[in-house]
A and B are shown apart, each in its own frame.
Chain A
């Protein structure tokens, strides 16, 4: 039985967060009435000319620097010629032979725990281009409508080498890329609105074979779930085809989320000849060193740098460091929490942000930016756990109270609601004695060798203490009494 290896390369179109379009002054804001944000240039009226928006170039440079790529000193805009109603000029201005960003790599965390590993995905290139408009097929009585608001929106097309070997790796890459473009502020990452969409080139080959299999390109995947489902289906389909003796044809395919299947859109035979040639309306894009350095100076600390710092300086695991740098917002929240709770509590801070806070946010479908519990409040709570003012169990109550706005700080809630942990050994001993006296059967069971009975006794003591007794002290005292 042949063992198959999956080979995946990803092309991503990230819409750049510029105020105006890449070659015109029209607004890029999403959701306006059709054709209200399309000026003469976007409509491709006779005689109009493109003028490059330098802010889009800033974005490309930011990206190039963030992935350690070469920012080309000279790159060239080319025309990609084809006819389509939502492509007003009959060509798309893109970059072909000389893209603005060349090379680079992105290291991503795949999976967690024992199965987790780091994967470096090499990037081939990233180039600037303009988006097309949209065809609207509803409400026109059998005809199609064209909305050119999106025409001319700047895109960065980011192309990887065929380095990924599973849908998990592909999704990990796409997520990391998504986080990165948002992190460096070049793309809002809104996948529903199409600001970040992926095409996956998928092929399979027998394990150990050097040459690649024939690839098929799955177009326009606009969620990570669809990316995974589409690749998994495609891999399964390709293996099946080959095992049944058929050959894979190079093709472009679409994924149907309803059926979970891919279907062929066009094969290589009917592929376009785009007749690329340098756009004579635009001069070559020359990026002086000073421009690159200016942009470098404006870059925030990058996720990779932060991840390394979290792992090194704060002693977090690779997985934790990766999770906490999944977005600028999460990283900022975490760092603010640590600022209050102290570096000694970096690990509990990580757990609280990644587990308790994340679960609570998830339950209400909120983003971390909308957390009712601030990083400062959470840090204050973690300090009280660290100094034994409250146990972990009580801390969860305090957290819930903070979430519900029952107090301005953990301290206030602990004070007001009397949640301070009982650490007075005299008080705890009294409770233990009472519980032992009232639960003779459990004591007998324990002495007869039933370890479980011990937990029941601990529970009784905690119950009597309304959860506030220091659990460690309770354990120790109980053990001592029972042994005695």
Chain B
């Protein structure tokens, strides 16, 4: 049962072969057993989970079940969930119990009837690519517990990879769904900006943040995205479009598909040879499936990391101002004045990486620097979006590596922020342009998973999922599981 996909679990629940309470208990037991070592979850609340499961069972019994009712999943601890401690991986919010549900949580708990197993570990305020910036300690990669699971959605990735949950939610500001999916042999999708509501998802960089599913197959991602996506009047950047069934085209043949290979992703020595070899093999697999490869160019892609590290910290520096110790969250115990209260609260509440980004963001927005940094970065952002628009005139999907390397060792890049930032060199441009992107397993290098990135045009989620699904039908990489998690 623990290796089943969401559709099989839902079918078993619908056929009453298992109850949601039983299924939830099964996963909670595994979490109890394996989580102390992996540290994928920061909060589990069996009582709450089982209550939701019982409600789902009642709904199934009443014949009012949706496609995923009663299926348990893990939630990244960036989503506010009523009555749940919601920490965002930070000491600042270690004591924060949300009084309200994020829109995606409301949709999943309410409309879909999904059960939450708990809240997963993450880089503090989603700032990191290794899950090492979490106040609640690093997460171990189930494939090699001396290595990182990637980040920022590292807890969600490790939870699904270790079969502590069949699927999880993640968020992706510069690669935070796709890079950990790649490092943990998962399928992860970052939708087009505006497809999933950001209401109740604790903001890192508002113009880049987007939530999405992380699972063990494209089909599972499609099913979970169905439960997450949709226009939300509470999010002004949410897009009002007709509802879509993301599973509708999964099986569509790929004959005639044009796959764009950005010259810039394949040239140079930035990518580990083992990763590149697996990606090249995936291209040959696609050609066998009837697709053709065309070379495209993203000439400004080398500017994406610098532009990102201006825009994202700028927005973050402002978004994180609300954590001031006045109304909720951490407040320093001793202070003599208001300014001291702010300074101590934030000095104690935030970790080093968050402080670094607040400082960068504050700097680039400051009087006299704004034009040179922030405005310039916005211009680059426009150029990058234009590059993609031009590329999509000659291809349907863009393909390349998700991450330049496989999972690195815990502590390996922790002291070198720039090396860490370069982990997202292939993923960041997608957020800057607001496009949908996926990572799917495409093989192994030295026993560690390699992720293949697929980038679609705006609102091409259904197409991307189809392209991923057909590949997964033809290959078995996504079905590989790490040893020692049974």
A85 in contact with B338 (CB, 8 Å): yes
Interface stretch of the complex, out of A277-285, A341-349, A412-420: A277-285
0 or 1 for each of B85-112: is its CB under 8 Å from A? (1 = yes): 0101000010010111010000000000
Q: B interface, how many residues as a size bin? A: 35 or more
- Closest 7 pairs between A and B when the two form their complex, measured CB to CB: A90-B321, A275-B365, A280-B207, A280-B206, A47-B200, A44-B322, A46-B202
Residue of A nearest to B205 (CB): A280
- Tell me whether B206 and A281 are in contact (CB under 8 A): yes
A51 with B318: in contact, given A40-B99, A88-B327, A273-B367 (CB under 8 Å)? no
State whether A89 touches B80 (Cβ < 8 A). no
Tell me which of A45, A275, A280, A283 contacts B80 (CB under 8 A).
A45
Q: Whole-angstrom distance between the alpha carbons of A46 and B200 in the complex?
A: 7
How many whole Å from B337's CB to the nearest CB in chain A? Answer: 12
Task: Tell me the bound Cα distance from A172 to B207 in angstroms.
Answer: 45
Most chain A CB neighbours (cut-off 10 Å) among B198, B365, B370: B365
Contact of B322 among A49, A90, A283 (CB under 8 A): A90
Which residues of chain B have C-beta atoms less than 8 A from A276's C-beta?
365
- The one of A46, A85, A91, A282 in contact with B318, judged by C-beta atoms closer than 8 angstroms, is A91
Residue of B86, B99, B205, B365 touching A81 (CB-CB under 8 A): B365
Q: Are A47 and B199 in contact (CB under 8 A)?
A: yes
Q: Known contacts being A81-B318, A83-B321, A88-B322, is A46 close to B86, with CB within 8 Å?
A: yes
Q: List 26 A-B contacts (CB under 8 A).
A: A40-B99, A40-B100, A43-B327, A44-B322, A45-B98, A45-B328, A46-B93, A46-B322, A47-B98, A50-B236, A51-B236, A52-B236, A81-B321, A81-B365, A83-B321, A83-B324, A88-B322, A88-B327, A90-B322, A91-B318, A275-B367, A276-B365, A280-B207, A281-B203, A281-B206, A282-B236
Chain B residues with CB under 8 Å of chain A are: 79-80, 86, 88, 93, 96, 98-100, 102, 198-203, 205-207, 233-237, 314-315, 317-318, 320-324, 326-328, 338, 342, 362, 365-367, 370, 374
Residues of B within 8 A of A242 (CB): none
Q: Cβ of B362 and Cβ of A275 under 8 Å apart?
A: yes
Shortest beta-carbon distance from A135 to chain B in Å: 10
Q: Chain A residues with Cβ under 8 A from B207's Cβ?
A: 280
Beyond the given A81-B321, A276-B365, could you list 5 further A-B residue pairs with CB under 8 A, ordered by the A residue number?
A: A45-B80, A48-B199, A49-B198, A51-B235, A91-B318
Q: What is the bound-complex CA distance between A146 and B328, given in angstroms?
A: 13
Contact B236 A283 (CB under 8 A): yes
- Which chain B residues border A52 with CB–CB below 8 Å? 236
Judge whether A79 is part of the interface by a CB distance below 8 angstroms: yes
Contact count band on A: 20 to 34
Distance in angstroms between the alpha carbons of A40 and B327 in the assembled complex: 11
User: Whole-angstrom distance between the alpha carbons of A457 and B111 in the complex?
Assistant: 96
Residue of A nearest to B200 (CB): A47
Mask of A33-66 contacts with B, CB within 8 angstroms, 1/0: 0000000100111111111100000000000000
Knowing A81-B365, A83-B342, A281-B236 touch, does A47 contact B326 (C-beta < 8 A)? no
A48 to B315, CA, bound (A): 15
Residues of A within 8 A of B315 (CB): 280
By a CB distance below 8 angstroms, the chain A residues around B233 are 51
Q: Is the CB of B203 within 8 A of A47?
A: yes
Chain B nearest CB from A156 CB (Å) reads 20
Closest chain-A Cβ to B110's Cβ sits at a distance in Å of 17
Cβ-closest chain A residue relative to B343: A83
A91 to B203, alpha carbons, bound, how many Å? 14
A93: shortest Cβ distance to chain B, in Å? 11
B338 with A273: CB separation less than 8 A: no
The CA-CA distance from A89 to B320 in the complex, in Å, is: 8
Inter-chain contact B96/A46, CB cutoff 8 Å: yes
Residue contact A277 to B198, C-beta cutoff 8 Å:
no
- In the complex the two chains form, what is the Cα distance from A97 to B327 in whole Å? 31
The answer to whether B324 and A90 touch across the interface, beta carbons within 8 angstroms, is yes
Query: Which parts of A148-167 form the interface with B (CB within 8 Å)?
Result: none
B432 nearest CB across to chain A (Å): 13
Name the distance in Å between A311's Cβ and chain B's nearest Cβ.
47
Q: Which among A50, A85, A280 has the greatest number of chain B C-beta atoms within 10 A?
A: A280
Instruction: Give the docked Cα–Cα distance between A107 and B35 (Å).
Output: 73
Q: Which residues of B contact A47 (CB under 8 A)?
A: 79-80, 98, 102, 198-203
Which residues of A are found within 8 Å of B366, using beta-carbon distances?
273, 275
Chain A: minimal CB distance from B348 (Å): 16
Shortest C-beta distance, B387 to chain A (Å), equals 22
A44 to B234 CA separation, bound complex (whole angstroms): 14
Residues in chain B near residue A89, CB distance under 8 A: 321-322
Closest Cβ of chain B to A40, distance in Å, is 5
CB pair A79–B318 under 8 Å, yes or no, is: yes
Closest to B329 in A: A46
Residues of B within 8 A of A40 (CB): 99-100
List of A residues within 8 angstroms of B202 by Cβ: 46-47
CA–CA, A79 and B322, complex, Å: 13
Determine the distance from Cα of A275 to Cα of B359 in the docked complex, in whole angstroms.
13
Residue of A nearest to B206 (CB): A280
- In Å, the complex CA distance between A91 and B314 comes to 13
A270 nearest CB across to chain B (Å): 12
Closest approach, in angstroms, between the C-beta of B362 and any C-beta of chain A? 7
Partner of A46, one of B80, B326, B342, B374: B80
Check if B327 sits within 8 Å of A44, measured CB to CB: yes
Knowing A48-B199, A51-B236, A81-B365 are in contact, say whether A277-B370 is a contact too (CB < 8 A). yes
Please, which residues of chain A bring their CB within 8 A of the CB of B236? 49-52, 281-283
Interface residues of A in 263-281 (CB under 8 A from B): 273, 275-277, 280-281
Bound together, the chains give a CA A49 to CA B202 distance in angstroms of 10
Question: Which residue of A is nearest B78, CB measured?
Answer: A47
Give A255 Cβ to nearest chain B Cβ, in Å.
24
Chain A residue at smallest Cβ distance from B378: A278
Chain A 73-105 interface mask (CB, 8 Å, partner B; 1/0): 000000101010100111100000000000000
Inter-chain CA distance A276–B375, complex, in Å, is: 12
Interfacial chain A residues near B93, Cβ < 8 Å: 46
Min Cβ gap A345→B in Å is 56
CB distance from B272 to the nearest CB of A (A): 34
Tell me the nearest residue of chain A to B80, going by C-beta: A47
A178 to B199: give the CA distance in the assembly, Å.
38
For residue B206, which residues in chain A have a CB less than 8 angstroms away from its CB?
A: 280-281
Q: Which residue of B lies closest to A77 (CB)?
A: B236
Give the CA-CA distance A52 to B235 in the complex, in Å: 10
Task: Name the residue in A49, A88, A89, A146 with the highest tally of chain B Cβ atoms < 10 Å from its Cβ.
Answer: A49
Q: A88-B327, A275-B362 are in contact. Are A51 and B80 (CB under 8 A)?
A: no
Which residues of chain A come closer than 8 Å to B324, judged between CB atoms? 83, 85, 90
With both chains docked as a complex, state the minimum distance between the C-beta of A55 and any C-beta of chain B, in angstroms.
15
Give the distance to chain B from A148, nearest Cβ to Cβ, in Å.
8
Interface residues of A in 244-300 (CB under 8 A from B): 273, 275-277, 280-283
Question: Which residues of chain B are within 8 angstroms of A90 by Cβ–Cβ distance?
Answer: 318, 320-322, 324
Report Cα–Cα, A48/B200, bound state, in Å.
5
Minimum CB–CB distance from B152 to chain A (whole Å) comes to 16
Chain A residues within an 8 Å CB radius of B199:
47-49
Which residues from A are CB-within-8-Å of B79? 47
Residues of chain B with a CB closer than 8 A to A273's CB: 366-367
Inter-subunit contact A51/B328 (CB<8 Å) = no
Known: A273-B366, A281-B236, A281-B237. A45 touches B318 (CB 8 A): no
Which of B86, B201, B205, B314 is close to A277, meaning CB atoms less than 8 Å apart?
B314
**Complex CA–CA separation, A46 to B80 (angstroms):** 8
